[in-house]
Structure 1
């Protein structure tokens, strides 16, 4: 019996250690997955007029800090990824100045000194500049894991004016419907009020007429009946 108990105890300890190890792996995996994030904002697209200057936004967020963070902007040219610019950020408190730019009319405007902005400007854009741009980042603290976010630039001749005719018609129809409902409710309440007043008047007339009939018929008749019939001589 003692040998069996001694054999069972190490097995239980082994299972407990395995469970703890599995939990730690899951926690570390989730922590690592959220260690770095690249973001191009809540609206990942922009419609701009040909010849204008636009900014392609991108920021990075790191919960474990950065060290020699590599970032780049890439343009999808009919399926071929072309590097627009790239650089390495040694640490979060270092100002990024040495940025390699490989495309004309591109300017790096991100600042890393106390911030996380790695945005770029495109000057005097043309229709060829329209397409998908990828903001890419790789933090060595995450053992080379890659992160990216995509921004869509749409170049047009002129900004399209949104036709609000349908929306105006719908809003007017809704307003008319609400006005009709309110008018119907007011008319209904007024009608009920008038009917209640008429009903009260009818009740008063009935009570009054009933009192008059009793006085003329019942009361006077009872007095006449109460008198003794005169005897004949």
Structure 2
């Protein structure tokens, strides 16, 4: 009986471990699907922007959700000396209706659109005090209030820096020279091959003409010689025959 009980315990333990494994896989799969289709916010390929003092700068931000949105909440914050200052906030009812936005800064303008999934803002007449970190935040109630944020850094300068493109120009020039050299070599090679093939054809045709002409001459000479030999031989035989017949008489 003790052995049976231990066997049952082992079997039940294996079943429980298998159930736990299946449950873990199911949870991981659900989390994977959730993360793939979840809300994402992005400020583009760059994480910093450099703008000149007194100019207007666009702070880009877009959102994406595979399951769609409903009453999406978004806002912009500016971090100054460790303190987050709200610049604007709004709500997007769905993918068709345009967002309603409330601006909390006099030099901020909302330029987003729900159709383009855009919640970007413009910052007018920037100053050196506007330097810092800007955060774009969004929350989607349709995904059980899933939220996501993205940040970018704004740097204000007196004048725009001149980018040194010397290295780029050198690289492009070298590549262009190499490509041009390769093209020239290919053209020269094609011309040489064509010239050589033409010359070989001319030589082969010339040899064929010489062989055919010499063959014709030999044939003509042989035929004439044969005719002469054939003509001379009967004459000699005839004369000999006549002499033999006349001697006895």
* Common fold by TM > 0.5: yes
TM-score (normalised: structure 1): 0.70
Q: Is contact 2:75–2:86 with CA below 8 Å preserved after alignment?
A: no
The 3 A distance-change label for structure 1 pair 67 and 152 is same
Cross-structure match for 2:217:
212
Cα offsets for 1:190-212 (capped at 9, x unmatched):
33123212321221122212321
Q: Which runs of 5+ in 2 are unaligned?
A: 244-249
For residues 115-164 of structure 1, the C-alpha deviation after alignment (integer angstroms, 9 at most, x for no partner) is 64321111123455456533234557777766332335455524747567
Contact 1:71 1:138 in 2 (8 A): no
Contact 2:75 2:136 in 1 (8 A): yes
Q: Are 2:88 and 2:102, in contact at CA under 8 Å, matched by a contact in 1?
A: no
For 1:110, the equivalent position in structure 2 comes to: 112
Q: Which aligned pairs between 1:26-175 and structure 2 lie closer than 5 A? A: 26-34=28-36, 35-42=38-45, 44=47, 46=49, 48-64=51-67, 65=69, 69=73, 71-75=75-79, 80=82, 82-83=84-85, 85-87=87-89, 89=91, 92=94, 95-101=99-105, 105-111=107-113, 116-126=117-127, 129=130, 132-138=133-139, 147-153=148-154, 155=156, 157-158=159-160, 160=162, 165-166=169-170, 167-168=172-173, 170-171=175-176, 173-175=178-180
1:188 aligned residue:
193
Spell out, residue by residue over 1:45-101, the C-alpha distance to the aligned partner (whole angstroms, 9 max, x if none): 555444321211112223454567454334477xx4643525364854683333444
Bigger CA radius of gyration:
2
TM-score scaled by structure 2? 0.67
Q: Does the aligned pair in 2 maintain the 1:36–1:147 contact within 8 Å?
A: yes
Segments of 5+ residues of structure 1 without an aligned counterpart are: none
1:223 to 214, 220, 227: 227
SS class of match (2:137): strand
Mapped partners of 1:160, 1:125: distance in 2: 21
Q: How big is each residue's C-alpha offset from its partner over 1:171-216, in whole Å with a ceiling of 9 and x where there is no partner?
A: 2552353134223313321331232123212211222123213322
